[in-house]
Amino acid sequence: MKKIPRAAFVGLIPVVGCGEPSLPEPVDPSKLSWADRTTVDSTKTEAWRNYLQAAALNRAWSPPDNSPWLAYHKVSLPAAVSMVRPAAVPVRGQPATLAEQSAEAFASRYSLENAAVFVDLPGPESVAWGAALARRGATPVCTFNNWPHHRGILKLEQTLGALLYYADELSRQPKKPTVPVFMLELERLRPNYTPRPTEFDNRYFHLQTDFPTAADFARQGIKTVYYVSGQVFEQDDLNDYFVSLKNGGLDFFRVQPNGTGVDSFTPTKRTTIFDPTVVHSYTGTSRSHIYHRHYGHYYGFWRSSRSTFGSGGWVSG
C-alpha cells in the first residue's frame, strides 16, 4: 500500500490550473541581473507595473489575433515575468538607447514596405529596435525562448526588463497586421561553453519552423529581408533557414547595428555548429520537411561538444 499524504490528496484538484506560478525559492529574483534598471518606462511613467502578470505582458507584445505573425510569437519569456515579479523592473541602458536611435535612423532611410526585419542583437537592443519600428507601423515578434535564472548562463532578465520598459507603449499602439520585426537574442547559442553544475543552462537555438517559410512570406507580399547584425555571417541556427528563404526568392540586406550601413548579401550554405547532422525527418512527406526538433539536430549539436544544453559534456567525443 502506498503512502499518500492525506492533505495533499484532498488539496490536489483545486491547485490544478488555478493561477500563475508562485515563486519557487530556488530561483531568487533579487539575485537576477537587473543592471540598467530604471523606475519609469518608455512612457515616462510607472505604468510598467501593470505588466507584471504574464498575461498582461504577453498581451502588450503579442501580434494581433488576425496577424499572420502571431504563430511565431514565443510566449516563454513573457510567461516568466510572473516568476520574477517581486524584483522585476524595466531595464534601459545606454546601448538600448542607441539601438532605438539606430532603428529610427534606419526606418527613416529605408522603406519597410514588403519587408521582414530580423534583429539579432543583445536582447534589450533587439527589443529597442522592435519598439522603435513598431512606431513606424511594424509588428514586433518575440522569439526569446527561455527563462531567466539567477544562475543562468544568459541574462534573459535583461531582455525581460526591456519588454517591461516598452510594454505600456506597445499596448497603446493600434494592433493591425503589418510587416514583422523578429526580435532575436544574440547570445542564445553561446557556443564552446560547457556549463558548470552551479549554472543554469538557458541557452537555446532556433529551428526553421520557428519562422515563416518563403511561401508564408510570399503570401503576405514580403519580398525583402533585413538582417540587423554586427556579425559577418548570420548565426548558425539561421543559416539553413536563410538559405531556404533565398531559394524561395527573397532578397537579403544586412543592416549594421547603427542602422545606417545596409548591404545586399546572399546567404549560402556553410558549415555550422549543427554539422554534421544526420537529418532524420518524418519521411511520409519529403526529406525537406524538417521536424522542428528532430533527433539528429539535437544529437549533432550535443555531440559536437559545442553546446550541451545542460549535459555537462560527454564521456568521449
Partner 1 sequence: MTNAWQRLMFDYSVWTMYADGRRLPMTEPAILRAEDHRAILTAAHELYGILVKTIEACRARPQLLEYYRLHPDLQAMFAASRPDEPMVARFDFFLCDEGLRVSEFNTDVCGGINETQGLYDLFLNDSESFSATRNLLLLLLRNNPRCVGFMYPTGYSDDFEQANFLRTCLEKLGIRTVYGAPVNFEFNGRHLTAFGERVDMLYRYYLADWLAGQKTTGALVAAYRARAFDMITGFGQIVCQTKKVMAFWYDHIGLFTPSERRTIELFVPRTWLYRTLGRDRVQSMREQVVVKRGFGNMGNEVVLGPLLDDESFAEWLDVVDSEPDEWVVQEFFHVRADSRTMFPCYGAYMIDGRFSGYYTRTADEPYICYSARVAPTRVQP
Could you say which residues in the range 124-153 bind partner 1, by CB under 8 A?
Answer: 145-147, 151
Could you tell me if 246 and 267 are in contact, meaning their C-beta atoms sit under 8 angstroms apart?
yes
User: In angstroms, what is the minimal distance from the CB of 10 to partner 1?
Assistant: 10
User: In angstroms, what is the minimal distance from the CB of 247 to partner 1?
Assistant: 19
| Phi and psi, residue 116, nearest 5° | -120, 140
| Phi and psi, residue 289, nearest 5° | -85, 95
The only residue of 110, 193, 233, 309 in contact with partner 1, by rule CB under 8 A = 309
Looking only at the bridges linking them, the beta strands covering 251-255 and 262-265 are: antiparallel
8 touching partner 1, by CB under 8 A: yes
SS3 label, residue 265:
strand
State the binding string over 183-212 for partner 1 (x if CB under 8 A, else -): ------------xxxxxxxxxxx---x--x
6 touching partner 1, by CB under 8 A: no
The nearer residue to partner 1, 63 or 257, going by C-beta atoms, is 63
Could you tell me if 38 and 89 are in contact, meaning their C-beta atoms sit under 8 angstroms apart?
yes
The nearer residue to partner 1, 93 or 123, going by C-beta atoms, is 123
User: In angstroms, what is the minimal distance from the CB of 100 to partner 1?
Assistant: 27
SS3 label, residue 152:
strand
User: In angstroms, what is the minimal distance from the CB of 24 to partner 1?
Assistant: 5
Q: Which residues contact 18 (CB under 8 A, 6 or more apart)?
A: none
Cα gap 317→313, rounded to integer Å: 9
User: In angstroms, what is the minimal distance from the CB of 20 to partner 1?
Assistant: 6
159 touching partner 1, by CB under 8 A: no
Which parts of 237-256 interact with partner 1 (CB under 8 A)?
Answer: none
Q: Which residues contact 252 (CB under 8 A, 6 or more apart)?
A: 224, 225, 227, 242, 245, 246, 264, 265, 266, 267
Give bridge partners of residue 263 from the DSSP assignment.
Answer: 254
Which parts of 253-282 interact with partner 1 (CB under 8 A)?
Answer: 278, 280-282
Which parts of 81-100 interact with partner 1 (CB under 8 A)?
Answer: 82
Which parts of 20-49 interact with partner 1 (CB under 8 A)?
Answer: 20-22, 24-26
